[in-house]
């Protein structure tokens, strides 16, 4: 059986991954010159930011 702390640890790990991926995609978007790839990496960065926000919302459910 998973405890509240187990879930929070899991969500912390997920959130860390989402933040790291956002940073990677944002960096690539900033560095690359090809317009289509720049647009793609920028979109991926935005999606990772949304994912991080969703994970935070899930964590907030457990903290209540």
pLDDT computed for residue 62 by the predictor: 79
* pLDDT exceeds cutoff 80 at 61: yes
HSE value, Cβ hemisphere, 13 Å, CA-based, for 22: 14
Q: Which residues contact 52 (CB under 8 A, 6 or more apart)?
A: 15, 18, 19, 22
Per-residue model confidence as pLDDT tens digits over 7-45: 899 999 999 999 999 999 999 999 999 999 999 999 999
Verdict on whether the full-model pTM lies above 0.85: yes
Mean pLDDT along residues 50-58:
95
* Residues 6+ away with beta carbon under 8 Å from 48: 18, 19, 21, 22, 25
């Amino acid at each position: 059986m998973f405890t509240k702390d187990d879930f929070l640890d899991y969500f912390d790990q997920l959130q860390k991954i989402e933040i790291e991926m956002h940073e990677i995609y944002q960096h690539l978007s900033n560095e690359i010159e090809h317009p289509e790839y720049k647009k793609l990496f920028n979109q991926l960065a935005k999606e990772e930011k949304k994912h991080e926000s969703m994970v935070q919302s899930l964590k907030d459910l457990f903290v209540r």
